[in-house]
């Protein structure tokens, strides 16, 4: 039951109007904490790694840990490669056992985005039970090695989005709708909910064919999240909040126990803080009890 690709859990989510939380992790403590809380809340789960951590920790090591944890978990869990601009690394992760791959050629001209995305889709579908995510338009902010300034931000055109998905054969789709990576500068960020709704209506009007992904979860107000799900968002990505939670928990623990040299206690502090943060996200996206 437990090793799944992203599309299969997202189709169910889109039908039942909730989203699956997709959490970027950078180490084993975070990965276990995310899984623990998803199991406790009976929620489907997407674990994500950005490219840098996947290279630093090693793709094979990450997949081995994922499989070990997921195979015995009573919930469906997907391992997703996030925002990868390198086709060869996408293929390497697919070969190793990631179950969702995001090729991010969104900064390329439209035809080149199609060419690169289709190459990864064709490859992953040949390898096996792997779904592929692609992006059209650009999400502002910083995610791993990708930086997009506010001036460069371009929202996805709904008609072009349909053509993009048809020509590439994508399984799940991330349209740029104004959400941003990192911390929002304002309490009420400008998000184009109607654009997401329009894309969803064109793409998934009769049956859910290509579930939609919302990037830039950190800092989105709860009412935005509910509205994004109502408009068709079925995967909600959260990265910056978990990085901050990890660093803050480590810092606070060490600052309060400066004479102690017990790494396990630092890990426990991180684990508890991540569990709390992820539990709150699972509540917000409405996926508790859906596994
Ligand atoms: P945040 O870093 O804003 O949470 O965005 C995460 C994301 O979209 C990863 O793909």
What's the pLDDT score for residue 187?
82
Tens-place pLDDT, residues 116-164: 999 999 999 999 999 999 999 987 788 877 777 777 678 999 999 999 9
Residue among 23, 100, 191, 240 to mutate when testing ligand 1 (max atoms within 8 A of CB): 240
- Stretch 44-67: mean pLDDT: 97
Which atom of ligand 1 approaches the CA of 82 most closely? 10
What's the pLDDT score for residue 39?
98
Which atom of ligand 1 approaches the CA of 181 most closely? 3
Cα of 176 from ligand 1 centre, angstroms: 12
Q: What does the alpha-carbon distance between residue 102 and residue 84 come to, in Å, rounded to a whole number? A: 6
Cα of 238 from ligand 1 centre, angstroms: 5
Domains and CATH numbers, the chain: 6-285 (3.20.20.70)
Residues with C-beta less than 6 Å from any ligand 1 atom? 24, 82-83, 143, 181-182, 215-218, 237-241
Which atom of ligand 1 approaches the CA of 243 most closely? 2
Confidence of residue 1 (pLDDT cuts 50, 70, 90): low
Q: How far is CA 123 from the centre of its chain?
A: 21
Residue with CA nearest ligand 1 atom 8: 215
In this structure, the number of other CB atoms found within 10 A of the CB of residue 31 comes to 21
What's the pLDDT score for residue 148?
77
pTM: 0.96
Cα of 104 from ligand 1 centre, angstroms: 14
Query: Measured at the alpha carbon of residue 44, what is the angle toward residues 38 and 49, in degrees to the nearest 5?
Result: 80
Tens-place pLDDT, residues 2-53: 999 999 999 999 999 999 999 999 999 999 999 999 999 999 999 999 999 9
Q: What does the alpha-carbon distance between residue 4 and residue 264 come to, in Å, rounded to a whole number? A: 31
Tens-place pLDDT, residues 224-280: 999 999 999 999 999 999 999 999 999 999 999 999 999 999 999 999 999 999 999
What's the pLDDT score for residue 142?
80
Which of 244, 272, 234 has its CA nearest to residue 7? 234
- Does residue 109 carry a pLDDT above 70? yes
Residue among 22, 24, 46, 101 to mutate when testing ligand 1 (max atoms within 8 A of CB): 24
Mind telling me the catalytic residues?
A: 82
- Does residue 223 carry a pLDDT above 60? yes
- Stretch 93-107: mean pLDDT: 97
Which atom of ligand 1 approaches the CA of 218 most closely? 4
Cα of 271 from ligand 1 centre, angstroms: 20
Cα of 243 from ligand 1 centre, angstroms: 10
């Amino acid at each position: 039951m437990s090793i799944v690709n992203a599309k299969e859990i997202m189709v169910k989510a889109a039908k039942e109007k909730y989203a699956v939380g997709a959490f970027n992790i950078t180490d084993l403590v975070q990965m276990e904490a995310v899984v623990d809380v998803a199991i406790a809340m009976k929620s489907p789960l997407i674990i994500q790694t950005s490219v840098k951590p996947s290279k630093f920790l090693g793709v094979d090591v990450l997949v081995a840990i994922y499989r070990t944890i997921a195979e015995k978990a009573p919930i469906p869990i997907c391992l997703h490669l996030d925002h990868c601009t390198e086709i060869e690394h996408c293929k390497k992760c697919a070969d190793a056992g990631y179950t969702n791959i995001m090729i991010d050629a969104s900064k390329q001209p439209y035809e080149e985005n199609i060419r690169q995305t289709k190459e990864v889709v064709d490859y992953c579908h040949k390898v096996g039970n792997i779904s592929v995510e692609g992006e059209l338009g650009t999400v502002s902010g910083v995610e791993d090695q990708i930086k997009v300034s506010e001036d460069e931000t371009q929202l996805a055109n709904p008609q072009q989005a349909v053509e993009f998905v048809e020509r590439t054969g994508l399984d799940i789709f991330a349209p740029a709708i104004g959400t941003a990576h990192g911390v929002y500068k304002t309490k009420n960020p400008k998000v184009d909910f109607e654009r997401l709704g329009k894309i969803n209506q064109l793409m998934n009007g009769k049956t859910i064919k290509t579930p939609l992904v919302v990037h830039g979860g950190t800092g989105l107000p709860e009412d935005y999240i509910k509205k994004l799900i109502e408009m068709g968002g079925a995967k909600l990505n959260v990265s910056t909040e978990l990085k901050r939670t990890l660093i803050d928990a480590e810092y606070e623990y060490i600052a309060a126990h400066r004479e102690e040299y017990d790494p396990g206690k630092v890990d426990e502090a991180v684990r508890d803080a991540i569990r709390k943060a992820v539990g709150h996200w699972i509540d917000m996206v409405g996926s508790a009890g859906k596994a």
